[in-house]
Amino acid sequence: MSDPMIMLSLLLLLLGLLSIGVWVAIALMSVGAFALLFFSSAPVGQVLATTIWGQSHAWALAALPLFILMGEILLRSRMSEDMFKGLAPWLGGLPGRLLHVNILGCAIFAAVSGSSAATAATIGKMSVPELMERGYPERLVIGTLAGSATLGLLIPPSIILIVYGVATDQSIARLFIAGILPGLMLVLMFGGYVVVRALLDPASIPAETESYTLWQKIKSSRRLIPVIVLIVGVIGSIYAGIASPTDAAALGVIFSLFLSWLSGTFSRKMLVEAVMGATITSAMIAFILAGAAFLTVSMGFTGIPRNLAAWIGSFNLSPLALLAALTVFFILLGCFLDGISVVVLTTSIIMPMINGAGIDPLWFGIYLVIVVEMSQITPPVGFNLFVIQGLTGINILSIARSALPFFTLLLAAVFIIIALPEIVTVLPNLMSR
Between CA 213 and CA 221, with CA 215 as vertex, the angle to 5 degrees is 110
**How high is the pLDDT of residue 179?**
92
For 77-98, the pLDDT digits (tens) are 777 677 777 777 777 778 888 8
Q: What does the domain layout of the chain look like in residue ranges?
A: 22-431
Mean pLDDT of 15-37: 82
For 129-182, the pLDDT digits (tens) are 888 888 888 999 999 999 998 888 888 878 888 889 888 888 888 998 999 999
Please give the model's pTM, rounded to 2 decimal places: 0.76
DSSP assignment string, 270-303: HHHHHHHHHHHHHHHHHHHHHHHHHHHHHHHHHT
- What span, in angstroms and rounded, lies between the C-alpha atoms of 306 and 349? 9
DSSP assignment string, 343-359: HHHHHHHHHHHHHHTT-
Please classify residue 374 by burial: count the beta carbons closer than 10 Å to its beta carbon, then call 0-12 exposed, 13-18 middle and 19+ buried: buried
Q: Where are the beta strands (DSSP E) in 14-130?
A: none
**Cis amide bond preceding 157, omega within 30:** yes
Residues in the chain: 433
Which of 343, 370, 366 shows the shortest CA–CA distance to 422?
A: 366
Please classify residue 133 by burial: count the beta carbons closer than 10 Å to its beta carbon, then call 0-12 exposed, 13-18 middle and 19+ buried: exposed
For 43-69, the pLDDT digits (tens) are 888 888 888 887 777 666 677 788 778
Compare 21 and 250 and report the one with higher pLDDT.
Answer: 250
For 250-283, the pLDDT digits (tens) are 888 888 888 888 878 888 898 999 899 888 877 8
